[in-house]
Amino acid sequence: MTRIPLAGTVLRGAVSTALIASLMSVSARAAPPVDVSKWSSEYVRSIAGTKDFDTAADCAKVTPLDYKGRLTFWYQGVFEGDPDLLRQYYKDFFATFRKTYPNIQLEEQALTYNDLLDKFRTALLGNAGPMVVRLQILGGVEFASKGYLQELKPEDVGYSTEDFWPGAMKSDTWKSKTYGIPTNNETMAFIWNADVFKRAGLDPEKAPATWDDVVKYSKQIHDKLGISGYGLVARKNAGNTPYRFLPQLWGYGGGVFDEATQHPTYGQIELNSAASKQALQASYDMYVRDKSVPVSALTNQQADNQPLFLAGQLGMMISHPSDYDVMQDLKKKATGSDLLKAQTAIDNMRYGLIPTGPDGKRAVVFGGSNIHILKPEYVDGGKVDQAAAKALICFWTGPEWSLKMAYAGSNPGNLNGFKTKWMKERLETTKFLDVSTSMLPYGVPFPAIPETPEIMNIVVPDMLQNALTGTMTVNQAAEDAAKKVKSIMTGGSL
Amino acid sequence: MTTATGLADARLRKKAKREGILQQAWTRRADYLYVLPAILVMLVVIAYPIYYTVDLSFFNTPPGLQLRDKVFVGLNNYVVILGSDVVWRVTVNTVIWTFFSTVFSFALGLGSALALHRDFAGRGVMRAILIIPWVVSAVAASYIWKWIYHSDFGVIGAVLVGLGLAAHPPNFIDSVSTVLPSLIVVNVWREFPFAMIMLMAGLQTVPEQLLRAAKVDGASAWQRFWHVTFPHLRGVSTVTILLLAVSNFNSFIIPWIMTGGGPSNASHIWITHIYELAFGRQRWGIASAYSVLLFLILMSLGYFYVRALSSGDRKERGA
């Protein structure tokens, strides 16, 4: 019954090849993939709630439910900026997994985004890693290229490669081999406070169309109201910084390499191009020239912008749809006049597409996480329980849990998650979700090269800080960053 | 001939000395057995890591390769460090950080110790209160101070703006010129109780009769401090300063949590720079070379520390 509209979609669709591949796969589900070419918020609504999935039954085909084993697992878990709702889903996931696989002894460990890479790298040096790890999207290629990860593709746990975003699969691919499966994928949206806009003399229902508009709006808000206009984030060693600066960089037509093009080769460094410098200049103008963004941007993370926004002290920011839930959670802690301010900010919260560059180019980081199995020699104890590992991975990357674990802040890695009843429920209950899902086609994956974490977490924030503190001019900061990237890529000294 | 005789004498003296040492070792063999387990543990947890760090410092460890694929480069990592612009900036930061943290912690600790040495109502409570910063976890303290300093809605900024003393909250940790002094203030706040405790213990050793005699002789409060109290504190002061210096040189938590070495590397000190090189950039070889140099610097401070302690022992034996 549920296949009829999908079959129709596929017959009409531009991805018939993908469908055939999917149908021909040995996938336990063998469900036709979502038609990515038709992606829009209407399309997402039309497929939501059209198919039921039985996770336990599906995963039983990969690993029997009475399987007895042991599994160690590290994952990038919830952190201070996530809503309580997500915490509950994480608890539910592990409780359900344990109930479904009562004989698998699961030893899980949650780490925050900024700590996971450091700890994982250190553990690998001592051959003391976990059997399975869920890493941020920019981490997989680094570890695959060094030979720490086992080959792992969706078909190994009963799904099809076509069930996942091609961009996400790229982040799991090194030298044409696949080393992981996406758990969730996301693109952020642009958020603004309509009340602040109105008081600053801006159209309260209209997001800035371009990045140049963001600079102008930010100044206008600051000049008129004395509060910060745009929530710039430029902290070092924090994932929030590249996630917010790269959309700006790509929008202006720049990039670290050519990652924002259709077929990136990562051969040419573009950080010092005129377009990249223009993007950096926009940040400089807001921070130094106009002083229209938080002074604390150099030490801030997005979690620091949230209370500012809730207090009506910030006009615009880039974030997930989950920020709406975070605001609701934060509001519970407010009292008296603060409560009123919080309610005003929530009532006036608006979501829109990320602004474009001067040439109409719109881009956003295609983020998310992937799950991987390590090679036994790098695991504490020297053994990997393959069946237990696949059971967990099947569970997490299936339509049900890949959606639930991304309920508020992200989107399911498994595209079939968009067809579930929980997606329908999510569309009804999670405000502004449409905007975020509409941004998915604009998603640009980080460069799929091992050097990406160092470039994104250190070189890019350094460039921003050098320019914003006046340590270097915009031109010098961009040239310096390009030089550092070149040095990293050629394996040269620092 | 004279030279030959001299050499022979020297050899004889050496032999006698060696026999003396061996004799002593044999006589005290039980003592060596008692400390043997501790030495074995130290060999495993200290000596091997030191050896491994030194070894690694001679290799290039490109971020795209596993550590086992490291490339031998001899002393090149040391050459790179000494020729790098960053190292000098980080060294200047480290010297400023260590010097001012140590001096101000000691001075504040000395003042507090002298104040608390006098008998007054509530002295016990004051002692307990002043020790709190030292007892509080450095991680928690760093986060609290980060909010106190926050450049947009920090406590200090809010108070100053509220009192009309400033139009905007001051920029403490988001400015390259103020970040290091701001972090030093936090470090001094956390460390001065340690100096205070050490010096309060030292003050117990100052003979009361000497102070009374000086007072009878008409010495002023400053003269009594300078000529009687301070000389008695010299030993404990040296040890305290050296311990503070070593601890500050090695200090990681406050700068890392509060600024991560930023903005624009203005608060990077050696230890945070090493951490970033190793764990953020995976340049284990060059980070190891930095660590070896840091180890040598700290060992030289350690030598003076041991000498200060031994001189105390020698004085006691002499007395």
Q: SS3 for chain A, per residue?
A: CCHHHHHHHHHHCCCHHHHHHHHHCCCCCCCCCCCHHHCCHHHHHHHCCCCCCCHHHHHHCCCCCCCCEEEEEEEECCCCCCCHHHHHHHHHHHHHHHHHCCCEEEEEEEECHHHHHHHHHHHHHCCCECCEEEEECCCHHHHHHCCCECCECHHHHCCCHHHECHHHHHCCEECCEEECEEEEEECCEEEEEHHHHHHCCCCCCCCCCEHHHHHHHHHHHHHHHCCEEECCCCCCCCCHHHHHHHHHHHHCCCCCCCCCCCCCCCCCCCCCCHHHHHHHHHHHHHHHHCCCCCHHHHCCCHHHHHHHHHCCCEEEEEECCHHHHHHHHHHCCCCHHHHHHHHHHHHCEEEECCCECCCCCCCEECEEEEEEEECHHHECCCCCCHHHHHHHHHHHHCHHHHHHCCCCCCEECEHHHHHCHHHHHHHHHCCCHHHHHHHHHHEECCCCCCCHHHHHHHHHHHHHHHHHCCCCCHHHHHHHHHHHHHHHHCCCCC
| CATH (domain of B309) | 1.10.3720.10
- The reply to whether B185 falls in a domain is yes
B246 near B302, Cβ under 8 Å?
A: yes
Same domain, A301 and A355: yes
E strand or H helix at B151, and its extent? none
Phi-psi region of B286 (alpha: psi -120 to 50; beta: other; left: phi over 0): alpha
pLDDT of residue B313: 57
- The reply to whether B248 falls in a domain is yes
Distances (CA, A) of A200 to A212, A292, A338, A484, B243: 17, 13, 21, 41, 56
Interface of A with B (CB under 8 A): 118, 121-122, 125, 142, 145-148, 228, 234-238, 294-299, 308, 311, 313, 450-451, 454, 457-458, 461-462, 465-466, 468-471, 488, 491, 493-494
pLDDT of residue A65: 96
- The reply to whether B168 falls in a domain is yes
A378 near B66, Cβ under 8 Å?
A: no
- The reply to whether A437 falls in a domain is yes
Question: Given an 8 Å threshold on Cβ–Cβ distance, is A295 in contact with B279?
Answer: no
Same domain, A121 and A64: yes
Q: What is the DSSP letter of B59?
A: E
The two beta strands, A132-136 and A367-373, are antiparallel
Nearest to A8, CA basis, from A46, A40, A42, A48: A46
Q: Which of A296, A314, A459, A462 is the best mutation test for B, with the most CBs of B within 10 A?
A: A296
Q: Quick one: tokens of B74?
A: 């001899």
Per-residue pLDDT tens over the stretch A198-252 = 999 999 999 999 999 999 999 999 999 999 999 999 988 777 899 999 999 999 9
Same domain, A30 and A126: yes
Question: Given an 8 Å threshold on Cβ–Cβ distance, is B176 in contact with A299?
Answer: no
Distances (CA, A) of A385 to A3, A71, A130, A181, A252: 36, 6, 11, 18, 48
Minimal CA separation from A465 to chain B, in Å: 5
Distances (CA, A) of A462 to A493, B265, B277: 17, 8, 14
Same domain, A398 and A289: no
Question: Given an 8 Å threshold on Cβ–Cβ distance, is A465 in contact with B64?
Answer: no
- The reply to whether B129 falls in a domain is yes
Minimal CA separation from B282 to chain A, in Å: 8
Same domain, A412 and A471: no
Q: Which of A148, A461, A488 sits opposite B63 (nearest CB)?
A: A488
Minimal CA separation from A452 to chain B, in Å: 10
Residues in B closer than 8 angstroms to A122, CB to CB, are: 279
The two beta strands, A69-76 and A132-136, are parallel
Q: What is the DSSP letter of B264?
A: T
Q: Which of A121, A295, A450 sits opposite B279 (nearest CB)?
A: A121
Residues in B closer than 8 angstroms to A295, CB to CB, are: 151-152, 169, 171, 174
CB-count exposure of residue B32 (10 Å: 0-12, 13-18, 19+) = exposed
C-alpha B235/C-alpha B231 separation (Å) is: 8
pLDDT of residue B255: 95
Nearest to A256, CA basis, from A77, A449, A391, A67: A449
Per-residue pLDDT tens over the stretch A320-368 = 877 887 888 888 888 888 888 889 989 999 999 999 999 999 999 988 8
Same domain, A172 and A31: yes
Helix A240-251 vs helix A274-284: angle between axes, to the nearest 10 degrees?
120
- The reply to whether B28 falls in a domain is no
The one-letter amino acid at A265: T
B62 touches A: beta carbon within 8 Å: yes
Same domain, A130 and A173: yes
pLDDT of residue A300: 82
Same domain, A114 and A36: yes
Number of domains chain A is built from: 2
Q: Quick one: tokens of A118?
A: 């450091």
Nearest to B77, CA basis, from B248, B290, B316, B319: B290
- The reply to whether B121 falls in a domain is yes
Is it true that the peptide bond before B263 is cis, omega within 30 degrees of 0? yes
| CATH (domain of A223) | 3.40.190.10
Taken in order A449, A453, A454, A459, the sign of the CA dihedral is positive
Instruction: Give B 110-169 residues with CB within 8 A of chain A.
Output: 146, 150-153, 169
Residues in chain B: 319
C-alpha B154/C-alpha B186 separation (Å) is: 15
Per-residue pLDDT tens over the stretch A265-288 = 998 999 999 999 999 999 999 999
B49 touches A: beta carbon within 8 Å: no
E strand or H helix at B45, and its extent? none
Q: Which of A148, A450, A494 sits opposite B283 (nearest CB)?
A: A494
Question: Given an 8 Å threshold on Cβ–Cβ distance, is A295 in contact with B276?
Answer: no
C-alpha A354/C-alpha A346 separation (Å) is: 20
- Give me the residues of chain B with pLDDT under 50, please: 1-2, 319
Same domain, A316 and A455: yes
B280 touches A: beta carbon within 8 Å: yes
Q: Quick one: tokens of A457?
A: 């977490």
Q: Quick one: tokens of B243?
A: 């311990």
Distance of CA B309 to the CA centre of its chain: 16
Q: Which one of A444, A459, A477 terminates a domain?
A: A444
Same domain, A142 and A258: no
CB burial of A392-408 (b: ≥16 within 10 Å; e: otherwise) equals bbbbbbbbbbbbbbbbb
Distance of CA B157 to the CA centre of its chain: 31
- Give me the residues of chain A with pLDDT under 50, please: 1-32
E strand or H helix at B110, and its extent? helix B85-117
Number of domains chain B is built from: 1
Residue A136 domain boundaries: 3-187+366-444
Residue B203 domain boundaries: 88-318
A346 near A331, Cβ under 8 Å?
A: yes
Minimal CA separation from A293 to chain B, in Å: 10
E strand or H helix at B175, and its extent? none
Nearest to A319, CA basis, from A437, A248, A412, A409: A409
Question: Given an 8 Å threshold on Cβ–Cβ distance, is B264 in contact with A462?
Answer: yes
pLDDT of residue B7: 62
Nearest to B244, CA basis, from B143, B134, B140: B134
Same domain, A198 and A338: yes
Question: Given an 8 Å threshold on Cβ–Cβ distance, is A236 in contact with B260?
Answer: yes
pLDDT of residue A476: 97
Distance of CA A222 to the CA centre of its chain: 30
- Give me the residues paired with residue A71 across strands: A106
- The reply to whether A494 falls in a domain is no
Q: Between vectors from CA A74 to CA B49 and to CA A396, what angle results, nearest 5°?
A: 160
- The reply to whether B36 falls in a domain is no
- The reply to whether B177 falls in a domain is yes
B102 near B95, Cβ under 8 Å?
A: no
Q: Quick one: tokens of B169?
A: 């909250």
Task: Cite the beta strand spans of chain B per DSSP E.
Answer: 59-60, 71-72
Same domain, A290 and A375: no
B245 near B237, Cβ under 8 Å?
A: no
